[in-house]
Structure 1
Amino acid sequence: MPKTPSHKLFDLIKGLSGSEKRYFKVYAGKQAGPDSKYLRLFDAIDAQQSFDDGLLRKAVYGNSPVQSRKYSELKSYLYDWVLRSLQGYDEKTSADYRIKHYLLSIRVLFRRSRFDACQEILAKAKKTARQYEQFTALLDLLGWEKQLAYARADIDYLDEALPRISEEERFTIEQLQTVSAYRNLFFRLLVSLRKDASLIGADYRQKLGEVVDDPLLQEASRANSHQARVYYFRTLSIYRLAISDLQGFYELSHELIRLMESQPHFLKEDVSEYISALSNLIMSCGRLGRHEELQAHLLKLKQVPPLTSDDELKIHRQYYQNRFSLCIARGEFELGMKELRAHLKARERFEAHFFETPTFFYNYFYIAFGAGAYDEALAFLNQWLNLDYTVERQDLQGIARILNLIVHFELGNYVLLDSLLRSTYRYLKKRGQLHRMEQELLSLLRKAINAPSKQDLLGAYSSIKDAFERGEPAQTQSFFTKAFDIMAWLKSKIEGRTFAEVLQDQYERARSA
C-alpha cells in the first residue's frame, strides 16, 4: 500500500465537522471495534492542536517498538477509511449522492431484468434530479427511460412517450448549457477583477464591461433555472461593487438573498454561496451606513447552520469581521472588547493562519485602542507588523507603522518613539506614502517627545486639526486617513474626552442628520 504522508491524514481529520467525526467513529467501530488502533490514531489526531508525528505514534503503540512500515500502513488504511465513511455520510445527506445511488440501482436491476423495479426507482430519481437541477444526471435518466421501453419491447409506450422524452432532453441540454454560460461569465469577471486591478477609471470599466455587456446579463428572464439566476445576480452584484455603485450592489445583493431563500432545499445541499452572498449584503449595508439593517443580517449570518467545517469557518470569519467594523463605526469599544474575547476563544478550534491577516489584526488593534487597552493594542500591532511582507501589503504596512507611533505616544514611550519616527519617515518616503496628513502627524509627534507644556501640546493638536479642516480633500486624504479616524483622535485630545466618546457622538449626529 502506498504511503500516506502524516500531514495529509492530519489535515483531512482536522477538517472534518463534528457530525462527520461522529459518523466516522460509528462506521469504524462497526468495522474494527471500539478499541482499534485506527480509532486510537484518529482520536489522537483529533486531540492535537498542531501536528506531532512522534506523539501520534506513541498514542497508538505506547512505548512498544514498531516498524515504520506498520505505522505507515496504519495511516494509509485510516485515510482510506475516513474517505469511505465520508462517502457514506454524503450519500445520506446529499441529493447528488442519492441520485447516483438511484442510477447504480437502476443498472443493477436492469441487468437482472427487473424492469418494473427499475421504473419505480427511475420515477423517484427523475423527481429528485429535477428538484435539485441535476441536469447531467437527468439526461442519463431520460436515456434509461428509453432503454427500459426498448428492453421490454414496449413499442406503444415508445411511440407515445418519445416526443415528450425528446423535448425533455432538448430543454435539459439547454438548461445545462445556460448554467455553464452564466458560470463562465461569473468566473471571467472574477479573473478580470484581479488581472485588470491595476487599471483605473474608464479603462477599468471598459475591461469589466466586456464581461457584463454579454446579452445573457441584460435580462434576468434569460436565466432559465435557479442555478443560472443565482450566477446572474452574483455576477452583476460584484460588478456593481467593483465600479463603486454601492446602491446597485446593495439592491442586487438583496435580490440574490431573496432568490436563494426562495428555494431552501438548495441551501440544505450547499450553503457556502449563501454565506458569501449574505456577507456581501452585510458589506453593502456597512458601506451605505445602514447599520441597523447590518446588525439584523449579522444575526441571520450567525444562525446559518453550517454543512461543512469550511462553512463554519466562513461564518465565523465573516461574522466577526463585520461585527468588529460595526463596533468601530459606532465607537462601541467596550462591546467590541467582549466580542473580541469571544472571538479569540472561539477561533481556537480553527487553524491560526486563517486569522493571521492584516484585516483581522487591524480590527483587533482598533478595538483594543478604542477601549484604551493600549498594551493589548500594541501586542496585536506587533503581530501585524511581523506578518510576511508582500507587495500587496505595502499600504497596510504603512498604516500599521503610523498606528505604531500613535499607540507608543499613548503609552508615553517617548524614548522609543524618537527612533520609530525616523524609521517610519524613511519607510513612508521611500514608498511614496508620505502625504500631507502623514507629514503633519509625524511633526506633531516629534513635538510631543520634546515634552512641551500641556498648553503647547493642545495648541499643536488644534493647529493640525484646523489645517486639515481648511485643506483640500485631495491634500489631506490618504489611505491612512480612511483607515483611522485621525480627526476624531485629535478632537479627543483637544476636548479631553476619550476617542470612543468622540466616535459615539459622531455616529449619533450622522444618524440624526
Structure 2
Amino acid sequence: MPNRSQDPLFQLIKSLQKAEKRHFKLYIKRNSAKDDLKVIQLFDALEKLSDFDEKNLLKKIPGIEKPQLANLKNHLYRELLSSLRLLKSNDSIDMQLHEQIDYARILYNKGLYHQSLKILDRAKELAHQYHQDSFLIQIISLEKKIETLHITRSMQDRAEQLTAEANVVNEKRRVITQLSNLALQLYSWYVKNGHARNEADEKDIKAFFKHQLPLHADKLVGFYERLYLYQSYCWYAFIRQDFLMYYRYSQKWLSLFEKEAFMIEVETGHYIKGLHNLLNAHFDLRNFKEFSTVLKKFELFAASETANKHDIFRVHSFIYINSAKLNQHLMQGTFQEGLTLVADLEKQLSANALYIDQHRILVFNYKIASLYFGSGDYNTCIDYLRRIINDHVDLRNDLQCYARLLHLIAHYELGNAELIETSLIKSVYRFMAKMDNLTIVEEEMFRFLRHSFQIPAKQVKTELRSFLEKIKQYEKSRFETRSFAYLDVISWVESKVYGKTMSKVIHDKYLSSKHR
C-alpha cells in the first residue's frame, strides 16, 4: 500500500468530495479579493498531484514563489475549513448548537441580551433532548453571565434555578469524564498489549478498573454515563477474555441506541463501534447464527444515509464489516472463499489509506495470513506475516508475537528444517519470552517443533497425538485462550493427526455445532 503524504493541506484536499470542492470554489470567489485568487491556483495544483512534492508543486504554479508558499498554504487551509463549516453547519447536532451559541454571543455583544437569552433557551432545549451536557455548560455559563451583569427580570428565582442546573450538569460531566477516561485507558492498554497474558496482568487490570470505576455506577441513568460505563466493561471483559461478559456489555451498548434511536444520528461512530464489538463477541463465543444476524444488520446500516454522511463513518463501516467477513470464513473453515475477498479488500484499503490507521492494517494482514495458512498456501502466508514482522510499530505486542509463531509454523509446513533449527525457533522463542507472552500451550508447541526434527518421520504422527492430548486439556483455560484465538493450533494438529485439511477439520466442527 502506498505511503500517505504527511502534508495536512494535501491530505485535506484529497479527502474532499466533488460537492465540497465545488462549494469551496464558489465560496472563495465570493469571499476573497482578487489577490487571493492565488489560493485557487494553489488548490487546483494540489488537487492534481498524486503525491505531495513541493518542488513539483512550485513548477505547476509559476506565479507563486517559494517564500510565499507557506503563508498561502496556511491561508488555503483556513479557507477550506471555513467553507466546509458553512457547508456542513446542519450535519450534526453539535455544529447546530455551536452555531446557536455563536448567535447568542453576537446578540449579547450587540446589547440585545433578551434576544440572546431566547436563543440560549431554545439551544438548551435542544441540548437536553440530545444529551449534550458539554453544551449545556456553555449555555448556562452565558446565561449566568447575562444575569450577573444585567437586570433582565426574565423570571423569579432565576439565580437559584441557574445555580441548580449548573450543579447538576457539572456533576454529570464529572462522571462522564471519569468513565470516558476509563474506557479510553482500557482500550489503549488493549491496543498496546492485546489480551491479559497472565495472572499478574489480570490482577493489575482488575485493581485499575475497580479503582477508576465511579461509586454506584450501576445506578447511572444518563445516556452518555451508561454508554461509557458499558464501553469500560466491554474492554475490561475483552482484555480478560471473559467473552460472556464482553457479549453482555456489547449488547447493553447497542440496546442504548435501540431505546433512543435518534442518538444513532448523533453518535454514529459509537453505534458502529458497538456493532463491531457485538460481532467480535459472537465470533469469540462461536455464536454462528447470531454472528450472521448482526452482520446482516450491520451491512444494512452501512448502506444507509446516516452511515455515509461522513467519510469516517463510511470507512469504519467498511473496516469492521470486512474484518467480520474474514472472521466468518476463519471460524467456518471456508478459507478459499475468504481469499476471494482479499483483492478487493486491498484495493479498498489502498483507496482509503488516508483514513486507516496502522493498527487496522496489522489486523487485516494477520487475518489474511491466517486464511492463506488454512488453505495450505504457506509461502503467501509468510509474505503477509512479514508485513507485520518487518513493520516496527509499537502496537499489539500480542499480534507481533503470534505473527512470528505462525511464521515459524508455516516454515515447518514447508519443511524448512535447517532454517527452523539454526535460527528461527530461537529468535521467535526469545521474542515471545521478552514480551512475557509465553503460555503453557506455546511452550508445548516449541517443545514439539524442536523435537520433531530429531525423530524418524514415521514417529512424527505419534508425537503429534501426544502433543494434541497435552494441549486439548488447556482449551478452556482462561490464560491459554489467547493461543487458540490467534491460531487454531488444535485444529492444525488434528488435521495432521487425522490426515485432513485444516479447512475440513474446522468446517466439520462448524457443521457439527450448527446441528446441536
TM-score by length of 1: 0.79
Matches within 5 A, 1:235-274: 235-274=232-271
Alignment-derived partner of residue 102 in structure 1:
100
Give CA-to-partner distance per residue, 1:307-336, whole Å, 9 cap, x none: 543333333332222321221011122331
2:314 alignment partner, SS class: helix
Partner of 2:160 in structure 1? 166
Answering whether residue 495 of structure 2 is matched by residue 492 of structure 1, we say yes
C-alpha contact 2:183 2:228 (8 A) present in aligned 1: no
For residue 69 of structure 1, what is the aligned residue in structure 2?
67
8 Å CA contact 2:178–2:212 kept in 1: the answer is no
- CA deviations over 1:86-138 (Å, ceiling 9, x no partner): 33234232333333333343444456666775565455333323323331233
Task: Work out whether residues 192 and 207 of structure 1, in 8 Å CA contact, stay in contact via their aligned partners in 2.
Answer: no
The answer as to whether partners of 2:408 and 2:425 remain within 8 angstroms in 1 is no
Structure 2 distance, partners of 1:408, 1:201, is 33
The root-mean-square deviation of aligned C-alpha atoms, in Å, is: 3.8
Describe how 1:39-438 pairs up with structure 2 within 5 A. Answer: 39-46=40-47, 48-58=49-59, 60-61=60-61, 64=62, 66-109=64-107, 121-132=119-130, 133=132, 134-140=135-141, 142-143=143-144, 146=147, 150-151=151-152, 155=153, 158=154, 161-163=155-157, 166-167=160-161, 169-188=163-182, 190-191=184-185, 199-202=200-203, 204-212=205-213, 214-220=214-220, 223=221, 225-302=222-299, 303-304=301-302, 305-351=307-353, 354-355=357-358, 357-388=361-392, 393=397, 395-408=398-411, 410=413, 412=414, 414=415, 416-431=416-431, 432=433, 433=438, 435-438=443-446
Q: How far off is 1:287 after superposition?
A: 1.8
Size of the aligned set, in residue pairs, is: 482
Match of 2:340, SS state, is helix
Deviation at 1:502, TM superposition (A): 1.6
Give the 3 Å change call, closer, same or farther, for CA 287–399 of structure 1 in structure 2: closer
1:473 aligns with 2:485: no
Contact 2:465–2:497 under 8 Å retained in 1: no
Cα separation, 2, equivalents of 1:499 and 1:242: 28
Segments of 5+ residues of structure 2 without an aligned counterpart are none
Partners in 1 of 2:30 and 2:278 — Cα distance?
46
> Which region of structure 1 is more displaced relative to structure 2, 128-137 or 426-435?
426-435
CA distance in 2, matches of 1:424, 1:209: 42
Greater RCO (CA < 8 Å, at least 6 residues apart):
2
Paired amino acid for 1:208: F
The one-letter amino acid paired with 2:245 is G
Could you tell me whether the CA contact under 8 Å between 1:102 and 1:125 is conserved in 2? yes
* Distance (whole Å) between structure 2 residues aligned to residue 426 and residue 148 of structure 1: 75
Q: What 5-or-longer segments of structure 1 have no aligned partner? A: none
Counterparts of 2:109 and 2:205, CA distance in 1: 59
Q: Report the equivalent of 2:461.
A: 461
Separation in 1, partners of 2:98, 2:188: 37
CA distances 1:208-241 after superposition (whole Å, capped 9, x unpaired): 22223x3231313xx3x32233233333333343
Task: Report the CA distance shift for 1:460/1:323 in structure 2 as closer, same or farther (over 3 A).
Answer: same
Cα separation, partners in 2 of 1:22 and 1:319, compared to 1, 3 Å: farther
Deviates more, 1:266-275 or 1:331-340: 266-275
Deviation at 1:19, TM superposition (A): 5.8
Indicate which of 503, 509, 514 corresponds to 1:511: 514
Change in Cα spacing, 1:192 to 1:466, as seen in structure 2 (3 Å) is closer
Q: Please give the alpha-carbon distance, in whole angstroms, between the structure 1 residues aligned to 2:384 and 2:139.
A: 54
